[in-house]
Amino acid sequence: MKFSLDNQTVNEIQTACLVIAVSESGLQGASATRLNTTSDGAIEAMIESGDIVTGLGKCTLLHRLPGLAAKRVLAVGIGKAEKINLARFDRACLAAGKILRDHSATDAHSCLHEVTIEGADSGTLLRQSALALHRANYMYTATKPRKDDAPSPLKSLSFQAGEDSRPVLEQAYSFALGFQKARDLGDLPPNICTPAYLAQEARAIAEQFENVELEVLEEDDMAELGMDALLGVSRGSAHPAKLVVLRYQGADSKQPPVALIGKGITFDSGGLSLKSGENMMQMKYDMCGAAGVIGAFLACADMQLDINVVCIVAAVENMPDGDAYRPGDVLTTMSGKTVEVLNTDAEGRLVLCDAITYCQKFEPAAIIDVATLTGACMIALGHHASGLMSNDDNLAADLLAAGDAIVDRAWRLPIWEEYQSQLDSPYADMKNIGGLPAGVLTAGCFLSRFAEDQKWAHIDIAGSAWKWGSDEGASGRPAGLLAQYLLNLSAKS
Ligand code: BES
Ligand code: MN
Ligand code: ZN
């Protein structure tokens, strides 16, 4: 979908659909007010009569309003004006976007950013509405091409704003690109999206930008580095593991990079600690951490931020096999620390710990790993918040703020040292599981042991990266949170 700006008088804009906001107390913004005037008060009258519903996310399609060049108007409810905030605004825009996607219209013009929200300027609202409308417009087509009678997504979307909004619009486009990439990768089936496929995707990004370089470590390279934890997980799979290293240079090479690390388990069967059929069904999503960091990296490169970033994807498949690693095995990680494997289904931390050790050769200013790491995180936080754990209060605060700013939110969880003893093992430096209590935290504690002198954060996206049910699919998260964090670090913010 293309974004554009159009600052003509709103009633003269030729479009299949004008999109305006209405609250319980009436019209929102100058454009809605103007349309009401040119249509002789028709919109306000319909709000009063209840023909336009104003509840949050409720949409009403209006036809043949007098005095407009547009074919129709979509009135989008934002509920009570005094309760509106960025997250609610995002929900309203998303609802509007779904109507637009499912309607025959293929172009639209949005005035939604004219809503008044305390603490959010119109640029923020323009970007948020663009992202939500873009997200709603998504349709999976990789293995199921669109049928002729299927909904027709928007091809172009303009906004009621002038040239001064160009930078915001371009930023929104880069963010949308990142989200979309994360989502596309997450939704692909595991027979297509293999470790080699992830490496290929990274190559395509490296070829697209002059200041991006790619290195892919093969299993032999990893063996030489002593990554026996990562390779242990991979042993049961017919698809060789890849450690994908993307480097973006937007600043002086002396400036330390931010390291983003993604869990890229392209399928998690559980290994010999085999998952049940019920729990295995969704495990193609186990590479959504990788998808999220790749998406954020792409957005950063597209914006040409003036920072350095290294993005590492541990791309591995976790399968049972005669040569697979077993419960009881003791593995030596690249750091030299040993791990007693008690459950081969706690594999994410085993691939991440070696990636965390490896990335320290870049002397990063901060390390952020992202993973669909624990079912426990999904139980604790559901699908709305990612779980954030960190050994650094400033880094944690920056990441939380970034998530709030783009409505890709995280919630901080404690990894107090008291939890560490749950990982004690008589046979190695640690076990790879910490038992039932606080499974999300003991996973975080495990990783923290490999980032001891580093400024480090871990984001568990087991619940936020995808949804099942009627709107099943990858969410693209936390590409937005990460891209916003990188943008905030850059002087271009
Ligand atoms: N990939 C899963 C975590 C997961 C579960 C993500 C459900 C999304 C939805 C991870 O590798 C896993 O299997 N974790 C185990 C850890 C346990 C064995 C300590 C879990 O959460 O059950
Ligand atoms: Mn697992
Ligand atoms: Zn997993």
CB 13 within 8 A of CB 108: no
Q: For position 89, what pLDDT does the model report?
A: 98
CA nearest neighbour of 311 among 346, 358, 373, 276:
358
Structure tokens that stand for 440 in this block: 């999300």
Ligand at shortest distance from the CA of 433: 1
Which atom of ligand 1 approaches the CA of 433 most closely? 19
Written as one letter, the residue type at 382 is G
The kind and range of the H/E element at 315 are strand 308-318
Cβ(348) to ligand 1 under 6 A? yes
Q: Which of 275, 337, 455, 467 is catalytic?
A: 275
Which atom of ligand 1 approaches the CA of 286 most closely? 1
Q: For position 469, what pLDDT does the model report?
A: 80
pLDDT band at 149 (very low <50, low <70, confident <90, very high): confident
What's the CA-to-centroid distance between 306 and ligand 1, angstroms? 36
What's the CA-to-centroid distance between 94 and ligand 1, angstroms? 30
Cβ(462) to ligand 1 under 6 A? yes
392-445: per-residue pLDDT in tens? 999 999 999 999 999 999 999 999 999 999 999 999 999 999 999 999 999 999
- What number is the average pLDDT over the span 344-362? 98
Cβ(467) to ligand 1 under 6 A? no
pTM of the model: 0.98
Cβ(374) to ligand 1 under 6 A? yes
Cβ(186) to ligand 1 under 6 A? no
Cα distance from N-terminal residue to C-terminal residue, the chain: 24
Q: For position 311, what pLDDT does the model report?
A: 99
CB 245 within 8 A of CB 312: yes
Q: For position 151, what pLDDT does the model report?
A: 82
Tell me how far apart the alpha carbons of residues 451 and 173 are, in angstroms, rounded to a whole number. 34
265-291: per-residue pLDDT in tens? 999 999 999 999 999 999 999 999 999
Q: For position 47, what pLDDT does the model report?
A: 97
By percentage, how much of the chain surpasses pLDDT 70?
100
pLDDT band at 467 (very low <50, low <70, confident <90, very high): confident
Q: For position 182, what pLDDT does the model report?
A: 98
Q: What are residue 397's phi and psi, to 5 degrees?
A: -65, -40
What's the CA-to-centroid distance between 333 and ligand 1, angstroms? 20
56-101: per-residue pLDDT in tens? 999 999 998 999 999 999 999 999 999 999 999 999 999 999 999 9
Cβ-proximal residues to 35 (8 Å cutoff; 6+ apart), any chain = 10, 11, 18, 20, 43, 65, 68, 73
Asked if 235 is an active-site residue, the reply is no
39-60: per-residue pLDDT in tens? 999 999 999 999 999 999 999 9
Structure tokens that stand for 371 in this block: 């993973």
Q: For position 266, what pLDDT does the model report?
A: 99
Lowest mean pLDDT segment, chosen from 338-352, 407-421, 433-447, 467-481: 467-481
What's the CA-to-centroid distance between 432 and ligand 3, angstroms? 13
The kind and range of the H/E element at 141 are none
CA nearest neighbour of 5 among 121, 124, 170, 245:
170
Cβ(443) to ligand 1 under 6 A? no
Which atom of ligand 1 approaches the CA of 442 most closely? 19
Which atom of ligand 1 approaches the CA of 343 most closely? 18
Q: For position 381, what pLDDT does the model report?
A: 97
What's the CA-to-centroid distance between 374 and ligand 1, angstroms? 4
Q: For position 170, what pLDDT does the model report?
A: 98
150-165: per-residue pLDDT in tens? 888 999 999 999 999 9
3-state percent breakdown (helix, strand, coil) of the chain, nearest 5: 40, 20, 40
Nearest CA to ligand 1 atom 5: 375
Whole-number mean pLDDT of the chain? Answer: 97
What's the CA-to-centroid distance between 396 and ligand 2, angstroms? 26
Cβ(372) to ligand 1 under 6 A? yes
> Does 25 have pLDDT greater than 70?
yes
Distances (CA, A) of 186 to 216, 224, 473: 20, 30, 8
Which atom of ligand 1 approaches the CA of 285 most closely? 8
Which atom of ligand 1 approaches the CA of 270 most closely? 13
Q: For position 468, what pLDDT does the model report?
A: 79
Tell me how far apart the alpha carbons of residues 163 and 145 are, in angstroms, rounded to a whole number. 36
Tell me how far apart the alpha carbons of residues 373 and 367 are, in angstroms, rounded to a whole number. 17
CA nearest neighbour of 440 among 357, 352, 349:
349
- What number is the average pLDDT over the span 310-329? 98
> Does 387 have pLDDT greater than 80?
yes
From 374, 381, 423, give the residue whose CB has the most ligand 1 atoms within 8 Å, as the site to mutate. Answer: 374
Asked if 242 is an active-site residue, the reply is no
What's the CA-to-centroid distance between 269 and ligand 2, angstroms? 7
b/e string for 199-223 if b means 16 or more Cβ within 10 A?
bebbeebbeebeebebebbebeebe
pLDDT band at 493 (very low <50, low <70, confident <90, very high): low
Nearest CA to ligand 1 atom 3: 374
